[in-house]
Amino acid sequence: MPTPLPTVGDFTRARQTRRGMDTAQDHDIDEENRLLQRLPPDQYATLLPYLEPVELNNRQVLWQPDTTIHSVYFPRTCVVSLLTPLADEQPVEAATVGREGMAGTPVVLGVRVTNLQAITQVSGLAARLDAERFTGYLRQADGALFSLLLRYAQALQEQTAQSVACNRRHAIEERCARWLLMTQDRVGVDQFGLTQDFLAFMLGVRRASVTVAAGMLQQAGLIRYHRGKITVVDRDGLEAASCECYKVVRRKYEQLLGGQD
């Protein structure tokens, strides 16, 4: 028997148990995920009871390559990394997803299996939604929602393509600056948890290379690194130290989705 789809009536009943949620329009204030914020209030209201709040731990696996995606995730304060596996090497990061988007775009495109692995890059909060329910909802939703999600999928593809060029052509310190800027955008705060080991893993380089690159950024007064915490001290300086790829990707998100905070 198919899973019943959420309705606005379902939302009204569920809303009564949620403190501080008097109207659907409140999501402009209460919802931290920027993609969900862009939904029309009635569509957000319909989805809200089925958005399960979850806390994702660092390096938590959301799905494995070539397995069925059972849930999609809308990060609120966490960052998710999409990794391309390699047979004899560590996987390579293809893209990151934070509060600007969602992890699970293959589901939007009608696919439940992907070669990518999804893991939590920076721990934090997210909203989880059953993939089957989400697929059914998309079938009955109006074109505005589907168009928004397709634009986001295109922005994510543009990010992935830019990362390929960046990893091939740009110096490690530029790539490190770009990665830190993108992570700061996605968590929305100046400080976030990150070990040099994990940063090296994400950038696909040896830890010694990251130690040198992060040390250069710290000596320049752009970041501060202490006990697994990165603090962005000089945002403008870090942008100047980054390669062109950061601004290229950010501009594409602004064009397709109307800007990022």
Q: What is the DSSP string of 26-82?
A: GHHHH---HHHHTS-HHHHHHHGGG-EEEEEPTT-EEE-TTSB--EEEEESS-EEEE
* Residue 259, pLDDT score: 56
pTM confidence score: 0.85
CATH number of 171-242: 1.10.10.10
Residues 6+ apart with CB under 8 A from 170: 178, 243, 245
**Torsion angle of C-alpha atoms 251, 252, 253, 258, degrees rounded to 10:** 80
pLDDT, tens only, 31-73:
999 999 998 888 889 889 999 999 999 999 999 999 999 999 9
The predicted structure's pLDDT at residue 89? 85
Describe the crossing of helices 143-169 and 172-187 by its angle, rounded to 10 degrees: 160
**What whole-number distance in Å separates Cα of residue 245 and Cα of residue 242?**
8
Please tell me whether residue 190 adopts helix, strand or coil conformation: coil
Q: Where are the beta strands (DSSP E) in the chain?
A: 52-56, 61-63, 71-75, 79-84, 92-97, 117-122, 124-130, 191-193, 223-226, 229-232
Note the pLDDT of residue 238: 97
- Lookup: tokens for 50: 């089925």
- Do 8-164 and 171-242 agree at the fold level? no
| Segments of the chain with pLDDT less than 50 | 1-29, 261
Residue spans per domain, the chain: 8-164, 171-242
Measured distance CA(60)–CA(62) in Å, rounded: 6
Q: What is the pLDDT of residue 203?
A: 86
CATH 2.60.120.10 corresponds to the domain 8-164: yes
- Locate 184 and state its tokens: 């700061």
